[in-house]
Amino acid sequence: MELLNLTVHNFGVFWGRHDFNLIPVLQPDGTRRHLTVVSGHNGAGKTTLFQALALALHGPLALGDRVSQWAYNDFLLSRLHRRGEAGTLTVSDEGGVTLSFQYVQSGRPLHIQVERFWRRNGHNVRETLDVLQDDQRLDIDSKDYQTWLNDLVPSGLAPLCFFDAERLEALASPEQHDGLLGETLRRLLGLDLVERLQADLAYYTRRRGGGGRADRLRKEVLQHQAALDNLHGQLTQFQAEAETLAAEQADLEAELARQERRLAAEGGSYAARRPILQERLVAVQEEIETIATQLRELSAGLLPFALAPELCQALSQRLGQEADVRRRQAADQLWQERVARLETALQDEELWQDVEVLPYARQTLAQRLVRMLREQETPYRVGEQLLLHHLAEPEQERLQGWIAQALHTVPQQVQALGQRMHTLQSERQDIEMDLSRAPDDEVLAPIHAEIIHLEAALTDLQRQQRALSEQMGALQFQRDEQARQLQRAAEQLAVAQASERQLALAERSKLVLRAYQDALTRQRLGVLEERLAAAFNAVCRKEHLLTAARINPDDFCVQLQGADGHVLGLDDFSAGERQLYAMALLWALRQVSGRQLPLVMDTPLARLDEVHRWRLMHDYMPVVSDQVLLFATDAELNAGLLAQAEPYLARVYCLDYDPQQEQTMVTKEPTHGA
């Protein structure tokens, strides 16, 4: 991967559009100037450009794995350019970053351009992501652009590409070193995903239990499987016979075509008519087959019920009567409830207030009124039994609909199909009679006789094929039914065995994941230990300062062995040596990744003295990567260090923040590599 160009627009302290060329310069002698330096005082925009690079590639992931959309929105809102105008603060309505880079995939260089554009809408920011490959839009949905970028440049590689002073300080700190190294290695090797999967499997095993009732279902599955295998064997045999018949049919048709070409060559008038008749015969035969298929489908549906219309009508009438009975019974029940409430009300003294009726007369009147109302109850019956069909109203309506189709729609369809079938069969018989007529020309008679013989053989063969097809259809139906029964039995068996099998698989998966994690960690740590010692010795320039490095695979604690055999820790190093150790560790991690990645460093020189800065520029920058982008302050990067980097320095950008205009101005310093 090689960075080509970075463009920022109304982003942070940058007003308007600013382009930064990042392409290494190839010298006439074949050497590469791969270092691009961006310098400026604090607050000039170096960290802004550093963020823009990571943001262009990974969006919200550039801020961390667990950044919420709300936090990402606030971050974007804070990155839109702000400036004071007429005493008020004005925030740009839009901004963006564009990053282009070259990526080699399967030996083919790809030119990728990523553009993130933001538009402010009140307290929210709307982001638009656009990705071009070789100046063409990706052939995927725009919602999947970020997923495509994450697959191309995984976010786990970001710590090896984008390295700032805070990460350098953390790696050099004895208190934070082990945790940060472990986190970086886990993301680099994908072990964070493995650990998450192990946690999910552990939760799963805690939640699930086992069972032991599966023998009966296992026997049933074996029986269904044996029956299915038998049917499958028969069907395979029939298919072989069908293929043989098809081959014979092809031979007959080829011979028939040859005889017809011979007949046409003899000039017979019959040969001129035959293609038309044959074409029509094929069309008629196809339509007959279509109608036959429709009749078979009707036979498998409601047609059998249409053959018993009296029973269907009786069932429909019965269903209607039962529905009426249910309605009347419901009405009677409601009526009796109302009468009971009336009887209770008539016994209430408040009802008779201000009514001059004697008590015994009131009681008599109430009894007569209730008795008259109760006599209105009438039992409703259907025949001798009540409600034979206990159906819900939707089910009853659906059944009535089927009965109506069986009594009216289906007979009409069958009648129309039968009439059409009769017409087509008559037409087919006429066509076949026309085709069987022998020509009058005696020269054509032998050819025509051979054609008739071939057609008879072909007809007999087609009859055999139809019979075989019917047998195969019946077998396929039996096989499908047996397969459905097998599937049901297998599903029941799977439910019975689910706990044991799934728990066993979960435990095996946990062991496999653990073994994979341990093996991968130990393998990569072995490589990292070798590369770390070599990188540190190369940077420090102290003869055999380290003879070995050991990294504990459990807690990623690092033990360094000095030239005298003593074990060293980070506390034994000076502050500058710890910084160089962190840079060497970054170099070793990049080598372990196996990826050709650019290195973007934000102010790594801030905590180094002059000697260690010189070593970093002289021994580290030339070899750590094929492309390095260095952000440094004016105080850190003096003329002497730039002169030291001259052999591999491609260009220098200077950032100068103008407080009056509230924006950063960008200038490019002339270099020999530009």
* pLDDT one-digit tens code per residue, 369-388: 878 877 765 555 444 446 66
Evaluate if residue 208 carries a pLDDT over 70: no
State the average pLDDT over residues 18-26: 90
> How many Cβ atoms sit within 10 Å of the Cβ of residue 327?
11
Q: Please report the pLDDT score of residue 165 as a whole number.
A: 74
CB 608 within 8 A of CB 616: yes
**Rounded-to-integer distance, Cα 546 and Cα 573, Å:** 12
Evaluate if residue 516 carries a pLDDT over 80: no
Q: Residue 116 pairs with which residues in a beta bridge?
A: 97, 129
Q: Please report the pLDDT score of residue 20 as a whole number.
A: 92
State the average pLDDT over residues 325-347: 81
Mean residue pLDDT of the chain comes to 81
Tokens, residue 76: 């974007």
Tokens, residue 484: 């459905």
Q: How confident is the model at residue 112 (pLDDT cuts 50, 70, 90)?
A: very high
> How many Cβ atoms sit within 10 Å of the Cβ of residue 128?
13
Largest CA distance in the chain: 132
**Rounded-to-integer distance, Cα 142 and Cα 284, Å:** 52
Evaluate if residue 122 carries a pLDDT over 50: yes
Rg for the chain, CA atoms, rounded = 45
CB 631 within 8 A of CB 50: yes
> How many Cβ atoms sit within 10 Å of the Cβ of residue 364?
12
Evaluate if residue 323 carries a pLDDT over 60: yes
Evaluate if residue 519 carries a pLDDT over 60: yes
State the average pLDDT over residues 134-152: 89
In the chain, the amino acid numbered 576 is: G
Please state, for a pLDDT cut of 90, what percent of the chain lies above it. Answer: 10
Evaluate if residue 11 carries a pLDDT over 60: yes
Q: Please report the pLDDT score of residue 18 as a whole number.
A: 92
Evaluate if residue 314 carries a pLDDT over 70: yes
State the average pLDDT over residues 304-308: 81
- Crossing angle of helices 575-593 and 165-172, rounded to 10°: 100
| Cα–Cα nearest to 643, from 37, 7, 93 | 37
Place of tokens 């439910």: 495
State the average pLDDT over residues 305-322: 81
**Of the segments 19-23, 601-605, 608-612, which one has the largest average pLDDT value?**
19-23
Tokens, residue 118: 């933001």
Q: Please report the pLDDT score of residue 7 as a whole number.
A: 93
Tokens, residue 150: 């994450």
Of 161-175, 368-382, 560-574, the poorest mean pLDDT is in 368-382
pLDDT in tens, 537-558: 777 766 547 778 887 777 778 7
Q: Please report the pLDDT score of residue 163 as a whole number.
A: 78
pLDDT in tens, 180-198: 777 777 777 666 677 677 7
Q: Please report the pLDDT score of residue 152 as a whole number.
A: 85
Give backbone dihedrals phi and psi of 79, rounded to 5 degrees, phi first.
Answer: -90, -15
**Rounded-to-integer distance, Cα 277 and Cα 289, Å:** 18
Q: How confident is the model at residue 129 (pLDDT cuts 50, 70, 90)?
A: very high
Q: Please report the pLDDT score of residue 271 as a whole number.
A: 52
**Rounded-to-integer distance, Cα 429 and Cα 435, Å:** 10
Tokens, residue 331: 């009405």
Of 5-14, 174-183, 445-454, 541-550, the poorest mean pLDDT is in 541-550
Q: Which helix (H) or strand (E) holds 411?
A: helix 410-436
**Rounded-to-integer distance, Cα 323 and Cα 329, Å:** 10
- Crossing angle of helices 445-540 and 215-265, rounded to 10°: 130
Q: Please report the pLDDT score of residue 207 as a whole number.
A: 62
Helix, strand or coil, per DSSP, at residue 459: helix
Q: How confident is the model at residue 674 (pLDDT cuts 50, 70, 90)?
A: low
End-to-end CA distance of the chain: 21
Give backbone dihedrals phi and psi of 378, rounded to 5 degrees, phi first.
Answer: -135, 125
